Structure 1
């Protein structure tokens, strides 16, 4: 934990920006896979669907917000 609120300063770290933007404000997002990280099987099934030219279908349990 950074209890001293010290900003890391190392030449190998990128500089911190004054403002950051979510990806969807910079590029168009066609599909969003929930999770951090998304489940491996969900990534696999989505990629297989997209490569096959089929729409990706997300199971209800991964898109519900209860």
Structure 2
């Protein structure tokens, strides 16, 4: 019974740079979510680049819309 069992946690673990990168990315994602929820990030989304359904039709100069 001279064998000793290895203690848990003494093996190779996650490198420090992986932990640091994970923490930094987590903080950035949290900041982006908070900025979006509080309105600091501005008006973003798919409706920002479209006219919407209630926008008036654009008429060509001197004619009817869509007719050349």
TM-score grouping bracket, smaller chain normalisation: under 0.3
Q: TM-score, normalized by length of structure 1?
A: 0.28
RCO (CA 8 Å, sep 6+): is it higher in 1 or 2?
Answer: 1
Q: TM-score, normalized by length of structure 2?
A: 0.27
Structure having the larger proportion of residues in helix: 2
User: Highest Rg: 1 or 2?
Assistant: 2
